[in-house]
Chains A and B, each alone.
Chain A
Amino acid sequence: MRITHHLLLVSLLILFPACLRPAQKRAELDNKVGRYETEDINILVSQGLATIANLEKSKFKFWFQAPEVEFDIENTATTDFDLEIQLHNTLPEIEVECFDQNNEDCAVQLENTAVPTRKMLRFNLPSGSKYIFKIKSTVTESVYKIALLSDIQEELPRVSDIINKMNDQEDVLFAISAGDLTDNGIKEQLAQFKESFENLNYPFYSTPGNHDVGMASPRIWHEMIGRNSFSFVFLNTRFTFVDSANATLDPLVHDQLDQWLELGKEQVHLFITHIPLVDPDGFRNGSFRSRNESSKILANLSTFKVDLTLYGHIHSLYHYKNAGIEAYISGGGGGWPEKLDNIGRHFLIITIDPSRGIEKVETIRVD
């Protein structure tokens, strides 16, 4: 009997497998994005808003996660380098500012390619010097549009008609996403996503969904896309993406979010995350694992006067308010659609006036 009592106790312990910080690894890896350090060259992307891949000794590839990105490159070798950097996922119209550590302009060549969102940067980096680059938008309009597309998942091989429809929209500067770009986040699927979306005429910025990171190694997203949680400012509008792929925010992301909310309190502010903080239908519970955590985040978003919350995860379209803030759930990328809703594949076009706020949100149906 004693043995069976002990076995019973062990069995009870096995029944408590809950993980309090399921997104911890991803939050820690975020801080490593945008850093490249060797004996010869050091590269640092401000706020980690681009991934860096070393193609050959003096050739690099950057994948942007924001319309405007700053980075510096330092040559610590004893010889000069002729560097070539491919910039991926950029705005179609950009300009580059380059200056050295003495604030002197440097000679840099920016070239367009056949792909509107891919540019080439060539320059000579003398030994011992450090160049600071600012990739900036040339857009001057005060009111602009962005697109929102989420939850493509298993329909990634058939996403081309959505991309065509997105290309048909006028005056859209870039697209954002609340995640689930792939079905299970493996390397081949993320590569397919990048290849497919090179046909989009403007860049695409996303935080991961549960499908992008649930099954795959957390390193894959970081290597191929970049940070899971990030924030950038464009035309006095702050876009904050946070990783909720495990139906919670890691405490590190909570801390970052607090800083971004403080920085964005005077700006128009859009909050983008995959899993809705609150599902309009509590029975379904397609929301954060804890209502208390959701309420804490919503209380902060409300305090800092966030203008719009955007979610995915639920493959339909819902418009409601949470904590007094307009909210949209838009999971129209094609992944396993919700039935009985008459919605189908769709994306949103959001018109933003940086001096006034969110001007309009339109639904564009694909089917």
Chain B
Amino acid sequence: MKRRFFIQLILIQFFFANLAWGNEGEVKKNAKQQPAISEKKDGKIQVEPGVLPFLGAVLPGIIYPAGHLVMGDFNGHKKIIAVKGVGLAFLLAGALPLLLTNASPKVIHLPVYSLLTGFGLFSGATLADIYGSIFANNPLGKPQYIPDSYQLKLGYIYLKDYHLGADNLLMAEARINFGKFQIRSTFSRAVPHNTNWLESRFSWRLWGPLEKIKTVSGSFFDLAAGFYYKHFGEEKFTNLGLELLLVLRYDLAGFHQTLRGSFVQYEGGILYHLTGYEALEDEVFSDSELMPLSRLTFGLYMGSGINRGELALYYDHRHDNELAGTSLGSMGDGVIGHFGLKAFYYFTKNWGLGLDLAAGSVYRSLFSISYRGKK
């Protein structure tokens, strides 16, 4: 009963998030109806990105993104402010029940998703405004229209962590596509500690590019289920996680022309997290809890065709991994999740490099080398 309730909540918030971002086709239609900016013959819009629009997007941007306004793109500005407004509405809808009940567990679940969705829309609008104020005329890349059949990755993770023993880990990852389905498994092992993490995720693509179905957009929508098993040898405990989530990427070329080359991605769902302690010999996993999952990404494509990649900023609300929650030295420490910057780029047909820098309760640097191919 409880699980069905949560799935419904996620679907509802997803529905609203989609409404907020709009539909690609409708946006194109609206753009034609409201030619606030002129178009050249080649279809490129005539705006003037630069320092002033950038400052307009950054300085008042958290509250009022003004980059497109300074650029003279009034239509784009209106859309961004509208998303900002919807984000604010979600934030308020989430915050009010929490404030009125001081986070009573009887009402907290839906407001948490509403808060996170609101934060995603609110901050995403500002990031989109910043992006447009810099790259409106010259996007750095295009999305990948046909996914790779498989990808193998080897990586090194460095954790600046004052609490747990494992600071250096080696990781190996395999990702394989089978039509609409994808399996991804990651194994990480600490050196020299006895700490091992195995994470797997199974995804079902409901909508978006597939190996044999090329699309004109980078947008996609996946349903995913995953599990992890993490053993912390030195600290003498083990975690088991079972998760269910939705993954939606929206290619912002469909939202407004100045945002070509950028995307937002939302991963949301629920996690059942279990912990077992070596000292408790009679119980394998004595502690368990349900936690919300929410990862909000704003990214841009780099390159196109063979030489391509992505650069993305993300916020991840999960508190069960090594990054967990962030402290800012304030009264509210621990509640918010972690932030990161992720990038990868394929320099050849098969070989690419990746980097993931993130900060939460630890600093994490992940360097990786990838091999991709066709079956």
* Chain A residues, Cβ within 8 Å of B324: 289-293
Interface size class of A (residues with CB under 8 A): 35 or more
Write out the residue numbers on chain A whose beta carbons fall within 8 Å of the beta carbon of B320. 291-292
Q: In the complex, are the beta carbons of B291 and A287 less than 8 A apart?
A: no
Tell whether, in the assembled complex, residue B103 and residue A286 are in contact, meaning their CB atoms are under 8 Å apart. Answer: yes
B181 beta carbon closer than 8 Å to chain A: no
Beta-carbon contact of A338 and B101 below 8 Å: yes
Given A22-B333, A292-B163, also A302-B279 (CB < 8 A):
yes
Instruction: Tell me whether chain A's interface is mostly helix, strand or loop, or mixed.
Output: loop
The minimal Cβ–Cβ distance linking B39 to chain A, given in whole angstroms, is: 21
Bound: A184/B330 CA distance, A: 11
* Complex partner residue of B339 from A18, A211, A315, CB under 8 angstroms: A18
Contacts of A337 in B (CB 8 A): 102
Query: Which B residues lie within 8 Å of A291 (CB)?
Result: 239, 273, 275, 319-320, 324
Range class of the B interface residue count: 35 or more
Interface flags for A231-258 (1: CB within 8 Å of B; 0: not) read 0000000000000011111110010000
Contact: B58 with A323, CB < 8 Å? no
Q: A residues 296-313 with Cβ under 8 Å of B?
A: 296, 298-299, 302-303
Q: Which residues from chain A contact B50 at a C-beta distance below 8 Å?
A: 1, 4
Which DSSP category, helix, strand, loop or mixed, fits chain B's interface?
Answer: loop
Chain B residues with CB under 8 A of A11: 58, 130
B 111-139 to A, binary, CB cutoff 8 A, 1 in contact else 0? 01000000000000000001001100010
For A339, list chain B residues within 8 Å (CB): 100-102, 104
Q: How far apart are the CA atoms of A235 and B106 in the complex, in Å?
A: 41
Contact A296 B235 (CB under 8 A): yes
CB of A19 within 8 A of CB of B334, answer no
Inter-chain contact A289/B319, CB cutoff 8 Å: yes
CB within 8 Å for A295 and B291 given contacts A4-B54, A282-B273, A289-B333: no
Give chain A nearest CB distance to B40 CB in angstroms.
19
- Residues in B lying within 8 Å of A, measured CB to CB: 49-51, 54-55, 58, 100-109, 112, 130, 133-134, 138, 160-164, 232, 235-237, 239, 273, 275, 277-280, 283, 286-287, 289-292, 313, 319-322, 324-335, 338-339, 341, 357, 359-363
Instruction: Give 5 pairs: A residue, B residue, CB < 8 Å, sorted on A.
Output: A210-B331, A210-B333, A246-B334, A289-B361, A296-B164
Return the 4 tightest CB-CB contacts between A and B, nearest first.
A247-B334, A214-B331, A289-B325, A289-B334
- Please list the residues of chain A having a beta carbon within 8 angstroms of any beta carbon in chain B: 1, 3-5, 7-8, 11-12, 15-22, 184, 210-211, 214-215, 245-251, 254, 275, 278-293, 295-296, 298-299, 302-303, 314-315, 321-324, 336-341
